[in-house]
């Protein structure tokens, strides 16, 4: 009888035990290093919604935007939150670029890598009623323009401006790059006729594309995007030509990833790796990446760290060639 009672008690305790060695005990904060409306912000809010809708966390998810200093404010904030397992940073390639271009005393190695959720493409966008139908038309007009065409993007010396510099090197045209706090703001300025183009991510211009305000000339990718569902103008993402296929030989993709502060425990890291793996399998996430033309690429553990090391060196090379390394 005592053995039966002991077995029943053990089974009861096992059922009552938490599913993980560690779980959050208060609200989880996702810090976004850019303003509301941009691609990083959209991703964070989709993650927030997917977690809450599917009951993946017992604690609420709070999204906080800290766009100052090209994302530097958010990075320093998380750096100072060492050991706080209730805070996360959603970031892009800026996790390499901001420190390299500003001498900001912070590195991705100060953080705890959790998961890479996807890679993101970029497009060359113009106003819907723009006379340019292909990159060649746009470049030819830019070569003759005085003053130079204004091309908008997110922040300075970041992914968007790297693409503008690459277009200049490839074509010989000169542009006036106009930085914004996020891709949403740049898209709004393009729709209002204050810019000639943007180098936005698909997510940052898709709303205005659907609304008939902007349109893509090409995608800065080696391969066409894989999504065939119609988006706008009776076109799908897969029907937008790549820039190289139209003679503008410029390509770039960036990571979309999640980090924790440094100094957290392996059990705390494991909880979030599992959480974001589950997020990547939800219908909400799959619909989001298809709608916004992200390239699915979930990585965690050593695969994620290896990618980060390689991507850091790639960006060091790109920034050096562009003359954007701080102190150069």
Give per-residue pLDDT as tens, 216-265.
999 999 999 989 999 999 999 999 999 999 999 999 999 999 999 999 99
Helix axes 266-280, 39-53, angle to 10 degrees: 90
Note the pLDDT tens digit of each residue in 168-206. Answer: 999 999 999 999 988 889 999 999 999 999 999 998 899
CATH superfamily of 14-120+254-322: Bordetella uptake gene, domain 1 (3.40.190.150)
- In this prediction, residue 328 has a pLDDT band, given cuts at 50, 70 and 90, of low
Percentage, residues of the chain above pLDDT 90: 81
91 forms beta bridges with 257
Task: Supply the pTM of this predicted model.
Answer: 0.83
Domain boundaries, the chain: 14-120+254-322, 123-246
Give the residue from 118, 195, 193, 192 showing the smallest Cα distance to 153.
195
| Mean predicted lDDT score pLDDT of the chain | 92
CATH superfamily of 123-246: Periplasmic binding protein-like II (3.40.190.10)
- In this prediction, residue 327 has a pLDDT band, given cuts at 50, 70 and 90, of confident
Q: Do 123-246 and 14-120+254-322 have the same topology in CATH? A: yes
Q: What is the mean pLDDT of residues 74-80?
A: 96
pLDDT of residue 203: 87
pLDDT of residue 71: 83
CA dihedral for 80, 83, 87, 89, sign (positive or negative): positive
Query: Alpha helix (H) ranges present in 211-265?
Result: none
What are 223's two structure tokens? 């391969």
Provide CB contacts within 8 A for 146, sequence distance 6+: none
Note the pLDDT tens digit of each residue in 119-144. Answer: 999 999 999 999 999 999 999 999 99
């Amino acid at each position: 009888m005592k053995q039966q009672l002991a077995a029943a008690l053990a089974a009861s305790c096992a059922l009552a035990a938490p599913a993980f060695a560690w779980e959050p005990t208060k609200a989880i904060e996702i810090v976004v290093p850019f303003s509301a409306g941009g691609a990083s912000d959209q991703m964070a809010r989709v993650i927030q919604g997917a977690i809450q809708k599917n009951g993946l966390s017992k604690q609420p998810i709070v999204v906080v935007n800290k766009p100052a200093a090209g994302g530097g404010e958010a990075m320093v904030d998380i750096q100072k939150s060492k050991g706080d397992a209730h805070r996360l940073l959603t970031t892009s390639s800026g996790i390499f670029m901001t420190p390299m271009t500003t001498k900001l005393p912070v590195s991705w190695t100060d953080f705890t890598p959790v998961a890479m959720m996807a890679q993101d493409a970029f497009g060359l966008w113009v106003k819907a009623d723009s006379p340019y139908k292909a990159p060649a038309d746009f470049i030819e007009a830019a070569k003759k323009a005085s003053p130079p065409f204004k091309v908008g993007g997110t922040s300075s010396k970041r992914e968007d401006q790297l693409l503008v510099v690459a277009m200049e090197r490839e074509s010989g045209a000169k542009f006036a790059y106009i930085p914004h706090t996020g891709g949403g703001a740049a898209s709004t300025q393009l729709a209002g006729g204050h810019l000639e183009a943007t180098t936005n991510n698909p997510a940052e211009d898709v709303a205005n594309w659907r609304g008939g305000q902007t349109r893509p000339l090409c995608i800065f990718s080696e391969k066409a995007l894989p999504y065939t569902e119609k988006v706008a103008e009776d076109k799908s993402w897969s029907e937008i030509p790549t820039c190289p296929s139209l003679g503008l030989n410029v390509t770039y993709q960036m990571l979309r990833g999640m980090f924790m502060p440094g100094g957290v425990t392996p059990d705390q890291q494991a909880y979030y790796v599992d959480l974001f793996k589950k997020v990547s399998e939800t219908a909400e996430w799959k619909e989001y990446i298809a709608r916004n033309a992200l390239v699915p690429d979930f990585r965690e553990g050593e695969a994620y760290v290896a990618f980060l090391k390689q991507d850091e060196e790639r960006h060091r090379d790109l920034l050096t060639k562009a003359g954007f390394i701080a102190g150069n």
